[in-house]
Structure 1
Amino acid sequence: MRNEELKKVFDQQAVSYDKQWEGMAPIRAALYLLLESQFIGLLEDARILCVGVGTGAELAYLAERFPGWHFTAVDPSGAMLEVCRQKAVQNGFLARCHFHEGYLDTLAAEASYDAATCLLVSQFLLDAEARTRFFHEIARRLKPHGILANADLASDTESPAYEVLLRSWLTLMSSDGLRPEGLERARTAYARNVAILPAQQVAGLIRAAGFDAPVQFFQAGLMHGWFCTRQADLTRRPNGLC
Protein backbone atom coordinates (compact mmCIF):
# COMPACT_ATOMS: atom_id res chain seq x y z
CA MET A 1 0.00 0.00 0.00
CA ARG A 2 1.41 3.38 -1.02
CA ASN A 3 1.97 6.18 1.48
CA GLU A 4 -1.01 8.25 0.39
CA GLU A 5 -3.31 5.25 0.40
CA LEU A 6 -2.16 4.32 3.90
CA LYS A 7 -2.62 7.90 5.11
CA LYS A 8 -6.16 7.96 3.71
CA VAL A 9 -7.05 4.71 5.48
CA PHE A 10 -5.84 6.03 8.86
CA ASP A 11 -7.50 9.42 8.32
CA GLN A 12 -10.80 7.60 7.86
CA GLN A 13 -10.31 5.41 10.93
CA ALA A 14 -9.06 8.08 13.33
CA VAL A 15 -12.30 8.91 15.18
CA SER A 16 -13.23 5.26 15.79
CA TYR A 17 -9.72 3.81 15.98
CA ASP A 18 -9.43 3.45 19.76
CA LYS A 19 -12.87 1.85 20.07
CA GLN A 20 -12.13 -0.46 17.15
CA TRP A 21 -9.09 -1.89 18.95
CA GLU A 22 -10.31 -1.77 22.54
CA GLY A 23 -10.50 -5.58 22.58
CA MET A 24 -6.70 -5.60 22.31
CA ALA A 25 -6.33 -3.52 25.49
CA PRO A 26 -4.88 -6.35 27.64
CA ILE A 27 -2.10 -6.97 25.08
CA ARG A 28 -1.40 -3.25 24.78
CA ALA A 29 -1.29 -2.90 28.57
CA ALA A 30 1.29 -5.69 28.85
CA LEU A 31 3.40 -4.13 26.09
CA TYR A 32 3.33 -0.71 27.75
CA LEU A 33 4.19 -2.14 31.16
CA LEU A 34 7.30 -3.77 29.73
CA LEU A 35 8.05 -0.66 27.68
CA GLU A 36 8.02 1.38 30.87
CA SER A 37 10.48 -1.02 32.49
CA GLN A 38 12.91 -0.56 29.59
CA PHE A 39 12.68 3.25 29.76
CA ILE A 40 12.80 3.59 33.56
CA GLY A 41 16.47 4.68 33.66
CA LEU A 42 16.09 7.65 31.29
CA LEU A 43 16.61 11.23 32.47
CA GLU A 44 13.79 12.98 34.29
CA ASP A 45 13.57 15.49 31.42
CA ALA A 46 14.09 12.98 28.60
CA ARG A 47 12.98 13.75 25.06
CA ILE A 48 10.98 10.95 23.44
CA LEU A 49 10.28 10.52 19.73
CA CYS A 50 7.02 8.68 18.99
CA VAL A 51 7.12 7.52 15.36
CA GLY A 52 3.77 6.68 13.76
CA VAL A 53 2.10 7.72 17.00
CA GLY A 54 -1.44 7.34 15.70
CA THR A 55 -3.96 8.31 18.37
CA GLY A 56 -1.19 8.48 20.95
CA ALA A 57 -1.90 5.53 23.23
CA GLU A 58 1.74 4.89 24.16
CA LEU A 59 2.45 8.62 24.42
CA ALA A 60 -0.41 9.09 26.90
CA TYR A 61 0.78 6.12 28.95
CA LEU A 62 4.36 7.38 29.17
CA ALA A 63 3.32 11.01 29.78
CA GLU A 64 1.31 9.95 32.81
CA ARG A 65 4.15 7.94 34.34
CA PHE A 66 6.99 10.31 33.54
CA PRO A 67 5.77 13.87 34.17
CA GLY A 68 9.08 15.50 33.20
CA TRP A 69 9.38 13.96 29.76
CA HIS A 70 8.76 15.83 26.50
CA PHE A 71 7.41 14.14 23.38
CA THR A 72 7.55 14.65 19.62
CA ALA A 73 4.58 12.89 18.02
CA VAL A 74 5.10 12.07 14.33
CA ASP A 75 2.36 10.75 12.06
CA PRO A 76 1.35 11.35 8.43
CA SER A 77 -2.34 11.29 9.37
CA GLY A 78 -3.53 14.70 10.52
CA ALA A 79 -6.76 13.13 11.77
CA MET A 80 -4.86 10.67 13.95
CA LEU A 81 -2.66 13.45 15.32
CA GLU A 82 -5.74 15.49 16.20
CA VAL A 83 -7.09 12.63 18.33
CA CYS A 84 -3.65 12.41 19.96
CA ARG A 85 -3.68 16.16 20.60
CA GLN A 86 -7.11 15.97 22.26
CA LYS A 87 -5.81 13.25 24.58
CA ALA A 88 -2.96 15.55 25.54
CA VAL A 89 -5.41 18.38 26.24
CA GLN A 90 -7.76 16.20 28.28
CA ASN A 91 -4.96 14.67 30.33
CA GLY A 92 -2.98 17.84 30.90
CA PHE A 93 0.27 17.15 29.07
CA LEU A 94 -0.21 19.24 25.90
CA ALA A 95 2.61 21.62 26.89
CA ARG A 96 5.05 18.69 26.81
CA CYS A 97 4.18 17.68 23.25
CA HIS A 98 5.20 18.73 19.77
CA PHE A 99 3.07 17.40 16.91
CA HIS A 100 4.62 16.82 13.49
CA GLU A 101 2.28 15.88 10.65
CA GLY A 102 4.26 14.03 8.01
CA TYR A 103 6.68 11.18 7.56
CA LEU A 104 9.88 10.79 9.53
CA ASP A 105 12.06 12.11 6.72
CA THR A 106 10.37 15.52 7.05
CA LEU A 107 11.44 15.85 10.70
CA ALA A 108 14.72 17.64 11.46
CA ALA A 109 17.52 15.06 11.50
CA GLU A 110 19.29 16.08 14.70
CA ALA A 111 20.44 13.52 17.25
CA SER A 112 18.46 15.02 20.11
CA TYR A 113 16.19 12.27 21.43
CA ASP A 114 16.89 10.00 24.36
CA ALA A 115 14.50 7.29 23.19
CA ALA A 116 11.98 6.47 20.48
CA THR A 117 8.88 4.34 20.19
CA CYS A 118 7.79 2.78 16.91
CA LEU A 119 4.83 0.47 17.46
CA LEU A 120 3.22 -1.45 14.59
CA VAL A 121 4.60 0.95 11.99
CA SER A 122 7.55 -0.51 10.06
CA GLN A 123 5.49 -3.57 9.07
CA PHE A 124 3.76 -1.42 6.44
CA LEU A 125 7.06 -0.96 4.58
CA LEU A 126 7.02 -3.89 2.19
CA ASP A 127 10.52 -3.40 0.81
CA ALA A 128 13.24 -4.63 3.18
CA GLU A 129 15.76 -1.95 2.17
CA ALA A 130 13.16 0.79 2.66
CA ARG A 131 12.44 -0.65 6.08
CA THR A 132 16.12 -0.57 7.00
CA ARG A 133 16.37 3.04 5.82
CA PHE A 134 13.34 3.87 7.96
CA PHE A 135 15.03 2.48 11.07
CA HIS A 136 18.20 4.35 10.13
CA GLU A 137 16.21 7.60 10.05
CA ILE A 138 15.13 6.87 13.62
CA ALA A 139 18.75 6.14 14.59
CA ARG A 140 19.88 9.48 13.14
CA ARG A 141 17.49 11.31 15.46
CA LEU A 142 18.55 9.48 18.62
CA LYS A 143 21.48 10.46 20.81
CA PRO A 144 24.36 7.95 20.81
CA HIS A 145 23.18 4.94 22.83
CA GLY A 146 19.62 6.28 22.68
CA ILE A 147 16.93 3.62 23.05
CA LEU A 148 14.51 2.32 20.42
CA ALA A 149 11.46 0.29 21.40
CA ASN A 150 9.91 -1.26 18.30
CA ALA A 151 6.96 -3.58 17.87
CA ASP A 152 5.67 -5.24 14.70
CA LEU A 153 3.74 -8.27 13.59
CA ALA A 154 6.25 -11.02 12.86
CA SER A 155 6.21 -14.70 11.98
CA ASP A 156 7.57 -17.22 9.50
CA THR A 157 4.61 -17.19 7.14
CA GLU A 158 5.77 -20.48 5.58
CA SER A 159 5.61 -22.35 8.88
CA PRO A 160 2.61 -24.32 10.22
CA ALA A 161 2.71 -22.11 13.31
CA TYR A 162 1.76 -19.04 11.27
CA GLU A 163 -1.66 -20.43 10.37
CA VAL A 164 -2.38 -21.13 14.03
CA LEU A 165 -1.17 -17.72 15.18
CA LEU A 166 -2.95 -15.90 12.35
CA ARG A 167 -6.30 -17.53 13.10
CA SER A 168 -5.94 -16.76 16.81
CA TRP A 169 -4.86 -13.17 16.10
CA LEU A 170 -7.69 -12.45 13.69
CA THR A 171 -10.25 -14.02 16.03
CA LEU A 172 -8.99 -11.75 18.81
CA MET A 173 -9.41 -8.69 16.58
CA SER A 174 -12.91 -9.64 15.45
CA SER A 175 -15.75 -8.42 17.66
CA ASP A 176 -18.37 -10.80 16.23
CA GLY A 177 -16.37 -13.94 15.57
CA LEU A 178 -14.27 -14.87 12.57
CA ARG A 179 -16.02 -16.50 9.63
CA PRO A 180 -14.04 -18.48 7.03
CA GLU A 181 -14.48 -15.81 4.36
CA GLY A 182 -13.28 -13.18 6.81
CA LEU A 183 -10.15 -15.20 7.52
CA GLU A 184 -9.39 -15.42 3.81
CA ARG A 185 -9.89 -11.69 3.29
CA ALA A 186 -7.66 -10.87 6.23
CA ARG A 187 -4.99 -13.35 5.12
CA THR A 188 -4.98 -11.76 1.66
CA ALA A 189 -4.80 -8.24 3.11
CA TYR A 190 -1.89 -9.20 5.36
CA ALA A 191 -0.04 -10.83 2.47
CA ARG A 192 -0.56 -7.77 0.26
CA ASN A 193 -0.18 -4.85 2.68
CA VAL A 194 1.86 -6.03 5.70
CA ALA A 195 5.46 -7.25 5.64
CA ILE A 196 5.19 -10.09 8.14
CA LEU A 197 8.71 -11.46 8.39
CA PRO A 198 10.34 -13.93 10.80
CA ALA A 199 11.24 -12.22 14.08
CA GLN A 200 14.96 -12.74 13.60
CA GLN A 201 14.77 -11.08 10.17
CA VAL A 202 13.03 -7.99 11.58
CA ALA A 203 15.72 -7.80 14.27
CA GLY A 204 18.35 -8.04 11.54
CA LEU A 205 16.86 -5.10 9.64
CA ILE A 206 16.92 -3.00 12.81
CA ARG A 207 20.53 -3.91 13.56
CA ALA A 208 21.59 -3.13 10.00
CA ALA A 209 20.21 0.39 10.45
CA GLY A 210 22.73 1.36 13.12
CA PHE A 211 21.56 -0.29 16.32
CA ASP A 212 23.16 -2.80 18.64
CA ALA A 213 21.66 -6.28 18.55
CA PRO A 214 17.93 -5.95 19.36
CA VAL A 215 16.62 -7.90 22.34
CA GLN A 216 13.11 -9.28 22.04
CA PHE A 217 11.30 -8.28 25.22
CA PHE A 218 7.69 -9.00 24.25
CA GLN A 219 5.49 -11.36 22.28
CA ALA A 220 1.73 -11.78 22.23
CA GLY A 221 0.40 -13.75 19.30
CA LEU A 222 1.87 -12.25 16.15
CA MET A 223 3.05 -9.07 17.87
CA HIS A 224 6.74 -8.95 18.82
CA GLY A 225 8.60 -6.18 20.60
CA TRP A 226 12.34 -5.39 20.51
CA PHE A 227 14.53 -3.13 22.59
CA CYS A 228 17.88 -1.83 21.34
CA THR A 229 20.32 1.07 21.60
CA ARG A 230 21.72 3.28 18.86
CA GLN A 231 25.33 2.60 18.02
CA ALA A 232 27.68 5.38 19.04
CA ASP A 233 29.07 5.75 15.52
CA LEU A 234 26.65 6.10 12.62
CA THR A 235 29.28 7.14 10.11
CA ARG A 236 29.53 3.61 8.78
CA ARG A 237 26.86 3.12 6.14
CA PRO A 238 24.45 0.36 7.23
CA ASN A 239 23.86 -2.58 4.94
CA GLY A 240 21.26 -1.87 2.28
CA LEU A 241 21.60 1.93 2.50
CA CYS A 242 22.72 4.13 -0.34
Structure 2
Amino acid sequence: MKDELTFKSKNTIEANARISIPTYDTLFTMVQSYFRAKLGEKEASLLVIGAGGGNELAAWGPSNPKWTFTGVDPSKEMLQMAKNKSIQLGLESRVRLIQGTITDLPLPDSKFDAASCILVLHFIVDVQQKLKLLRTIKDNLKPGAPFILVSAYGDPGEAELQDRINVWKSFYLDAGYELSKVDEMGKVIMNISFIPEDHIERLLVESGFTNIARFYSTGLFAGWICHAG
Protein backbone atom coordinates (compact mmCIF):
# COMPACT_ATOMS: atom_id res chain seq x y z
CA MET A 1 0.00 0.00 0.00
CA LYS A 2 2.83 2.43 0.88
CA ASP A 3 4.52 1.81 -2.48
CA GLU A 4 1.19 2.37 -4.25
CA LEU A 5 0.65 5.68 -2.43
CA THR A 6 4.19 6.78 -3.24
CA PHE A 7 3.64 5.92 -6.90
CA LYS A 8 0.40 7.91 -6.98
CA SER A 9 2.03 10.87 -5.24
CA LYS A 10 4.93 10.81 -7.70
CA ASN A 11 2.60 10.60 -10.67
CA THR A 12 0.41 13.42 -9.31
CA ILE A 13 3.39 15.71 -8.78
CA GLU A 14 4.76 15.10 -12.26
CA ALA A 15 1.34 15.34 -13.92
CA ASN A 16 0.60 18.67 -12.23
CA ALA A 17 4.01 20.01 -13.23
CA ARG A 18 3.25 19.22 -16.85
CA ILE A 19 -0.15 20.95 -16.61
CA SER A 20 1.29 24.04 -14.91
CA ILE A 21 4.12 24.18 -17.43
CA PRO A 22 2.96 22.72 -20.77
CA THR A 23 6.54 22.92 -22.10
CA TYR A 24 7.96 21.19 -19.00
CA ASP A 25 9.81 18.43 -20.83
CA THR A 26 11.01 20.82 -23.52
CA LEU A 27 12.47 23.02 -20.78
CA PHE A 28 14.78 20.23 -19.64
CA THR A 29 15.79 19.53 -23.23
CA MET A 30 16.63 23.22 -23.71
CA VAL A 31 18.72 23.29 -20.53
CA GLN A 32 20.59 20.19 -21.65
CA SER A 33 21.41 21.82 -24.99
CA TYR A 34 22.70 24.91 -23.21
CA PHE A 35 24.90 22.90 -20.88
CA ARG A 36 26.22 20.82 -23.77
CA ALA A 37 27.11 23.96 -25.69
CA LYS A 38 29.08 25.29 -22.72
CA LEU A 39 30.61 22.07 -21.40
CA GLY A 40 31.48 20.34 -24.65
CA GLU A 41 32.53 16.70 -24.46
CA LYS A 42 34.56 16.95 -21.26
CA GLU A 43 33.77 15.30 -17.95
CA ALA A 44 31.63 17.69 -15.91
CA SER A 45 30.17 17.88 -12.42
CA LEU A 46 26.68 19.39 -12.11
CA LEU A 47 25.05 20.81 -8.98
CA VAL A 48 21.26 20.36 -8.97
CA ILE A 49 19.33 22.46 -6.45
CA GLY A 50 15.90 20.99 -5.75
CA ALA A 51 16.82 17.56 -7.10
CA GLY A 52 13.91 15.77 -5.44
CA GLY A 53 11.86 13.84 -7.95
CA GLY A 54 14.91 13.23 -10.13
CA ASN A 55 13.66 14.91 -13.30
CA GLU A 56 17.01 16.54 -14.02
CA LEU A 57 18.75 13.20 -13.54
CA ALA A 58 16.33 11.42 -15.88
CA ALA A 59 16.50 14.16 -18.51
CA TRP A 60 20.26 14.65 -18.59
CA GLY A 61 21.90 11.56 -17.13
CA PRO A 62 21.38 8.81 -19.74
CA SER A 63 22.54 10.86 -22.74
CA ASN A 64 25.50 12.51 -21.01
CA PRO A 65 27.66 9.70 -19.61
CA LYS A 66 30.52 12.05 -18.69
CA TRP A 67 28.36 14.13 -16.36
CA THR A 68 28.14 13.51 -12.62
CA PHE A 69 25.41 14.97 -10.43
CA THR A 70 25.20 16.26 -6.88
CA GLY A 71 21.56 16.83 -5.98
CA VAL A 72 20.28 18.73 -2.96
CA ASP A 73 16.71 18.76 -1.65
CA PRO A 74 15.19 19.17 1.84
CA SER A 75 12.49 16.54 1.22
CA LYS A 76 13.39 12.97 2.15
CA GLU A 77 10.41 11.61 0.19
CA MET A 78 11.28 13.54 -2.97
CA LEU A 79 14.93 12.49 -2.74
CA GLN A 80 13.79 8.87 -2.53
CA MET A 81 12.05 9.37 -5.88
CA ALA A 82 15.27 10.77 -7.29
CA LYS A 83 17.23 7.82 -5.91
CA ASN A 84 14.77 5.34 -7.41
CA LYS A 85 15.05 7.03 -10.81
CA SER A 86 18.84 6.98 -10.70
CA ILE A 87 18.79 3.25 -9.93
CA GLN A 88 16.23 2.48 -12.64
CA LEU A 89 18.34 4.35 -15.19
CA GLY A 90 21.64 2.88 -14.04
CA LEU A 91 22.98 6.27 -12.95
CA GLU A 92 23.63 5.60 -9.26
CA SER A 93 27.42 5.59 -9.67
CA ARG A 94 27.25 9.14 -11.06
CA VAL A 95 24.73 10.57 -8.60
CA ARG A 96 25.15 11.87 -5.05
CA LEU A 97 21.99 13.00 -3.24
CA ILE A 98 22.03 15.19 -0.13
CA GLN A 99 19.00 15.83 2.07
CA GLY A 100 19.03 19.45 3.17
CA THR A 101 19.88 22.78 1.63
CA ILE A 102 22.92 23.98 -0.27
CA THR A 103 24.53 24.93 3.05
CA ASP A 104 24.61 21.20 3.86
CA LEU A 105 26.93 20.48 0.95
CA PRO A 106 30.22 18.97 2.12
CA LEU A 107 33.28 20.92 1.10
CA PRO A 108 33.94 19.72 -2.45
CA ASP A 109 37.34 18.67 -3.78
CA SER A 110 36.76 21.19 -6.55
CA LYS A 111 33.97 23.51 -7.60
CA PHE A 112 31.19 22.47 -9.96
CA ASP A 113 31.24 22.88 -13.74
CA ALA A 114 27.55 23.84 -13.97
CA ALA A 115 24.44 24.23 -11.82
CA SER A 116 20.67 24.38 -12.10
CA CYS A 117 17.97 25.74 -9.79
CA ILE A 118 14.67 24.86 -11.43
CA LEU A 119 11.34 25.74 -9.75
CA VAL A 120 12.84 26.39 -6.32
CA LEU A 121 13.42 30.13 -5.87
CA HIS A 122 9.72 31.06 -5.68
CA PHE A 123 9.26 28.84 -2.60
CA ILE A 124 11.68 31.05 -0.66
CA VAL A 125 9.73 34.02 0.69
CA ASP A 126 12.46 36.23 2.12
CA VAL A 127 14.40 38.15 -0.54
CA GLN A 128 17.62 38.00 1.47
CA GLN A 129 17.28 34.23 1.65
CA LYS A 130 16.82 34.12 -2.12
CA LEU A 131 20.00 36.16 -2.44
CA LYS A 132 21.85 33.88 -0.02
CA LEU A 133 20.88 30.82 -2.05
CA LEU A 134 22.04 32.35 -5.33
CA ARG A 135 25.30 33.60 -3.82
CA THR A 136 26.04 30.19 -2.36
CA ILE A 137 25.38 28.53 -5.72
CA LYS A 138 27.77 30.98 -7.37
CA ASP A 139 30.42 30.35 -4.71
CA ASN A 140 30.25 26.62 -5.49
CA LEU A 141 30.83 27.13 -9.22
CA LYS A 142 34.04 27.43 -11.19
CA PRO A 143 34.59 30.88 -12.77
CA GLY A 144 32.60 31.12 -15.97
CA ALA A 145 30.49 28.04 -15.19
CA PRO A 146 26.95 28.10 -16.66
CA PHE A 147 23.96 28.42 -14.34
CA ILE A 148 20.26 27.97 -15.10
CA LEU A 149 17.55 29.54 -12.96
CA VAL A 150 13.85 28.82 -13.55
CA SER A 151 11.27 30.46 -11.30
CA ALA A 152 7.79 31.90 -11.11
CA TYR A 153 7.91 35.65 -11.62
CA GLY A 154 5.69 38.71 -11.65
CA ASP A 155 4.48 41.65 -9.62
CA PRO A 156 1.53 40.62 -7.39
CA GLY A 157 0.21 44.17 -7.56
CA GLU A 158 -0.02 44.25 -11.36
CA ALA A 159 -2.85 43.10 -13.63
CA GLU A 160 -0.31 41.43 -15.93
CA LEU A 161 0.36 38.70 -13.37
CA GLN A 162 -3.36 38.14 -12.79
CA ASP A 163 -3.84 37.74 -16.53
CA ARG A 164 -1.14 35.05 -16.58
CA ILE A 165 -2.71 33.34 -13.56
CA ASN A 166 -5.99 33.19 -15.48
CA VAL A 167 -4.17 31.53 -18.38
CA TRP A 168 -2.55 29.12 -15.90
CA LYS A 169 -6.03 28.27 -14.58
CA SER A 170 -7.17 27.52 -18.11
CA PHE A 171 -4.42 24.89 -18.41
CA TYR A 172 -6.12 22.97 -15.59
CA LEU A 173 -9.64 23.52 -16.92
CA ASP A 174 -8.56 22.14 -20.28
CA ALA A 175 -7.04 19.16 -18.44
CA GLY A 176 -10.48 18.35 -16.99
CA TYR A 177 -10.32 19.91 -13.54
CA GLU A 178 -13.53 21.32 -12.02
CA LEU A 179 -13.82 25.12 -11.95
CA SER A 180 -14.23 25.18 -8.15
CA LYS A 181 -11.01 23.20 -7.72
CA VAL A 182 -9.13 25.45 -10.15
CA ASP A 183 -10.33 28.58 -8.33
CA GLU A 184 -9.10 27.08 -5.08
CA MET A 185 -5.74 26.32 -6.68
CA GLY A 186 -5.58 29.90 -7.93
CA LYS A 187 -5.74 31.15 -4.33
CA VAL A 188 -3.00 28.73 -3.30
CA ILE A 189 -0.65 29.75 -6.13
CA MET A 190 -0.57 33.29 -4.75
CA ASN A 191 1.15 31.92 -1.63
CA ILE A 192 4.38 31.40 -3.55
CA SER A 193 6.82 34.29 -3.69
CA PHE A 194 6.31 36.22 -6.90
CA ILE A 195 8.80 38.99 -7.61
CA PRO A 196 9.21 40.98 -10.84
CA GLU A 197 11.58 39.80 -13.53
CA ASP A 198 13.95 42.76 -13.09
CA HIS A 199 14.21 41.95 -9.37
CA ILE A 200 15.25 38.39 -10.17
CA GLU A 201 17.88 39.64 -12.60
CA ARG A 202 19.11 42.10 -9.97
CA LEU A 203 19.50 39.23 -7.48
CA LEU A 204 21.57 37.33 -10.03
CA VAL A 205 23.81 40.35 -10.56
CA GLU A 206 24.21 40.88 -6.81
CA SER A 207 25.09 37.20 -6.45
CA GLY A 208 27.99 37.55 -8.89
CA PHE A 209 26.50 36.15 -12.08
CA THR A 210 27.17 37.72 -15.48
CA ASN A 211 25.82 37.55 -19.04
CA ILE A 212 22.27 37.18 -17.75
CA ALA A 213 19.61 36.51 -20.38
CA ARG A 214 16.06 35.19 -20.23
CA PHE A 215 15.78 32.18 -22.51
CA TYR A 216 12.44 30.66 -21.55
CA SER A 217 8.91 31.61 -20.57
CA THR A 218 5.69 29.62 -20.15
CA GLY A 219 2.67 30.88 -18.21
CA LEU A 220 3.79 31.85 -14.72
CA PHE A 221 7.41 30.75 -15.10
CA ALA A 222 10.57 31.97 -16.80
CA GLY A 223 14.17 30.83 -17.09
CA TRP A 224 17.48 32.69 -17.16
CA ILE A 225 20.93 31.63 -18.35
CA CYS A 226 24.04 33.21 -16.88
CA HIS A 227 27.61 32.50 -15.81
CA ALA A 228 29.50 32.54 -12.53
CA GLY A 229 31.71 35.62 -12.42
Task: Provide the TM-score with structure 1 as the length reference.
Answer: 0.82
* Residue in structure 1 matching 2:39, options 26, 35, 42: 42
Q: What is the CA-CA distance between 1:14 and the residue it aligns to?
A: 4.6
1:120 and 1:156 mapped to 2: Cα distance?
Answer: 17
Residues 170 and 178 in structure 1, CA contact (< 8 A), matched pair in contact too: no
Query: Which residue is 1:141 aligned to?
Result: 140
Q: Percent identity?
A: 24
Query: Which residue is 1:222 aligned to?
Result: 220
Q: What is the CA-CA distance between 1:21 and the residue it aligns to?
A: 3.2
Q: Structure 1: any 5+ residue segments left out of the alignment? A: 1-11, 232-242
Written as runs of structure 1 = structure 2, the 5 A alignment for 1:148-159 is 148-159=147-158
CA shift digits 1:127-181 (9 cap, x unpaired): 11110011011111111111110100112222222122101113324543352x4
Query: Which residue is 1:51 aligned to?
Result: 49
Query: Which residue is 2:60 aligned to?
Result: 62
2:78 and 2:116 mapped to 1: Cα distance?
Answer: 16
1:29 and 1:84 mapped to 2: Cα distance?
Answer: 16
Q: RMSD between aligned alpha carbons?
A: 2.2
Q: What SS does the aligned partner of 2:190 have? A: helix
2:172 and 2:49 mapped to 1: Cα distance?
Answer: 23
CA shift digits 1:62-84 (9 cap, x unpaired): 11221110000111111111111
Residues 15 and 83 in structure 1, CA contact (< 8 A), matched pair in contact too: no
1:164 and 1:26 mapped to 2: Cα distance?
Answer: 17
2:183 and 2:20 mapped to 1: Cα distance?
Answer: 21
Quickly say closer, same or farther: Cα 1:74–1:215, change in 2 above 3 A: same
> What amino acid sits opposite 1:145 in the alignment?
G
CA shift digits 1:166-221 (9 cap, x unpaired): 01113324543352x445533432333x1111111111112211111421010011
Q: Structure 2: any 5+ residue segments left out of the alignment? A: 1-7
Q: What is the CA-CA distance between 1:93 and the residue it aligns to?
A: 1.2
How many corresponding residue pairs?
219
Query: Which residue is 2:88 aligned to?
Result: 90
> What amino acid sits opposite 2:92 in the alignment?
L
2:164 and 2:106 mapped to 1: Cα distance?
Answer: 39
Query: Which residue is 1:191 aligned to?
Result: 190
Q: What SS does the aligned partner of 1:145 have? A: coil
Quickly say closer, same or farther: Cα 1:38–1:142, change in 2 above 3 A: same
Q: What is the CA-CA distance between 1:18 and the residue it aligns to?
A: 2.2
Residues 145 and 228 in structure 2, CA contact (< 8 A), matched pair in contact too: yes
Residues 207 and 213 in structure 1, CA contact (< 8 A), matched pair in contact too: no
Residues 52 and 80 in structure 2, CA contact (< 8 A), matched pair in contact too: no
Quickly say closer, same or farther: Cα 1:109–1:215, change in 2 above 3 A: farther
Q: What SS does the aligned partner of 1:65 have? A: coil
CA shift digits 1:44-79 (9 cap, x unpaired): 210000001120112211112211100001111111
Residues 32 and 61 in structure 1, CA contact (< 8 A), matched pair in contact too: yes
